């Protein structure tokens, strides 16, 4: 028969008291931590309340005698992190001289040196934060230090570096941004929207690089280049866009080129846009319709009118709405379609009613 282990009453009492005191210590630690956090938040809020008028004065460009700037740069060392966080938040919303003045606050607090050291940190969070800080400070001279981060192993760091470079506006980084869209060593490239945001913010020295990217073997890079050409827009790139329209095979990129032509092209492009408006890919056709509307030519009415009868409902409705935007001639053509009572009457009637509602709304205003 197995021997039974007997636990004495004093031992059980001792274990119970240990558990009780451990629970009390844990509760005290949690409450103390919460109380400390609330106290720090209250202290920080009080400090920011005292300094907010000075921050607003600098951010609005009304600090003529630099007294508000001096007040922000002269805060005690233990309060610097609180001020720097608030100033950084403001820097993301202001431009021009007020932004440069706020950046001088961070510079005086040694934030630039901290950020430059942080670019080589082992922590991806620190690298991303450092890159964004340099961008907020508009430290244009640090652009060469940010460019290598576009090939960082962390996707978050790559995005932060690209957005920081957008704030710096240095066109010399355009090639590196485009290269980050289709990296060789990383499975995922820089998101297209971030690349477009950066390239649109760069100075004019980026234009030749963007135009050259329309020939890149990767369709994602070509798509970014086409989108930027239309969004900036780069008017001198019209010949490049016309050439690419004849050769592009990727539907998404082709649609971007068609849309770009509507922004950088002119009357001579009406025939090619009319052809693309009948393209088998609906995305391409919709882009052509939008471009025809944007050209705003009287001859666009003749190109758009047949599309109201297109079997693709979204394309038919978009063409009908475009006709309403082309003035009386376009709306008269839609009324004729409605009167004919064919398959195109539904989208035509929809567009006319939409126009009537918009007009009524403007009348109420």
Domain-located, residue 240: no
- Minimum mean pLDDT among 60-64, 231-235, 276-280, 299-303: which range? 60-64
Residue 86 lies inside a defined structural domain of this protein = yes
Residue with tokens 């009390």: 24
Q: Three-state SS for 148? A: helix
- pLDDT at residue 364, as a whole number: 42
Burial tier of 94 (Cβ tally within 10 Å: 0-12, 13-18, 19+): middle
CA angle 285, 289, 291 (to 5 degrees): 115
Write down the pTM of the prediction.
0.79
Are 290 and 259 a contacting pair, CB within 8 Å? yes
Could you tell me if residue 327 is inside a domain?
no
Q: Report how many domains make up the chain.
A: 1
Residue 91 lies in a domain: yes
Closest Cα to residue 317, out of 341, 280, 353, 270?
A: 353
Report yes or no on 7 lying in a domain. no
Question: Which residues span the domain enclosing 124?
Answer: 82-145
Confidence of residue 48 (pLDDT cuts 50, 70, 90): low
Q: Per the domain annotation, does 183 fall within a domain?
A: no
The reply to whether 229 falls in a domain is no
What per-residue confidence (pLDDT) applies to 234? Answer: 92
Residue 285 CB coordination number (10 Å): 23
The answer as to whether 105 is a domain residue is yes
């Amino acid at each position: 028969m197995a021997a039974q282990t007997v636990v004495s009453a004093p031992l059980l009492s001792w274990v119970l008291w240990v558990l009780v005191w451990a629970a009390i210590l844990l509760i005290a630690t949690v409450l103390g931590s919460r109380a400390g956090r609330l106290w720090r938040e209250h202290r920080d809020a009080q400090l920011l309340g005292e300094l907010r008028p000075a921050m607003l004065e600098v951010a609005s460009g009304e600090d003529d005698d630099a007294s508000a700037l001096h007040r922000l740069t002269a805060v005690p060392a233990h309060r610097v992190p609180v001020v720097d966080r608030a100033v950084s938040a403001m820097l993301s919303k202001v431009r021009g001289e007020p932004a440069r003045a706020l950046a001088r606050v961070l510079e005086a607090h040694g934030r630039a040196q901290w950020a430059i050291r942080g670019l080589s940190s082992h922590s991806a969070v620190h690298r991303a934060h450092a890159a964004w800080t340099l961008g907020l400070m508009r430290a244009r001279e640090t652009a060469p230090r940010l460019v290598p981060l576009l090939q960082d192993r962390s996707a978050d760091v790559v995005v932060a570096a690209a957005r920081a470079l957008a704030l710096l506006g240095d066109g010399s980084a355009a090639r590196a941004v485009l290269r980050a869209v289709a990296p060789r060593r990383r499975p995922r490239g820089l998101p297209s929207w971030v690349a477009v945001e950066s390239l649109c913010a760069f100075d004019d020295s980026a234009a030749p690089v963007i135009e050259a990217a329309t020939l890149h073997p990767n369709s994602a890079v070509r798509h970014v280049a086409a989108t930027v050409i239309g969004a900036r827009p780069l008017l001198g790139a019209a010949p490049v866009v016309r050439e690419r329209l004849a050769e592009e095979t990727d539907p998404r990129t082709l649609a971007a080129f068609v849309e770009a032509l509507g922004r950088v092209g002119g009357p001579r492009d009406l025939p090619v846009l009319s052809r693309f408006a009948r393209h088998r890919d609906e995305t391409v056709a919709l882009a052509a319709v939008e471009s025809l509307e944007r050209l705003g030519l009287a001859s666009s009415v003749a190109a758009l009118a047949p599309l109201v009868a297109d079997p693709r409902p979204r394309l038919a409705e978009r063409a009908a709405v475009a006709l309403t935007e082309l003035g009386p001639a376009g709306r008269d053509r839609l009324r004729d379609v409605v009167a004919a009572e064919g398959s195109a009457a539904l989208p035509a009637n929809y567009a006319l009613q939409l126009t009537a509602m918009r007009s009524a709304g403007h009348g109420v205003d």
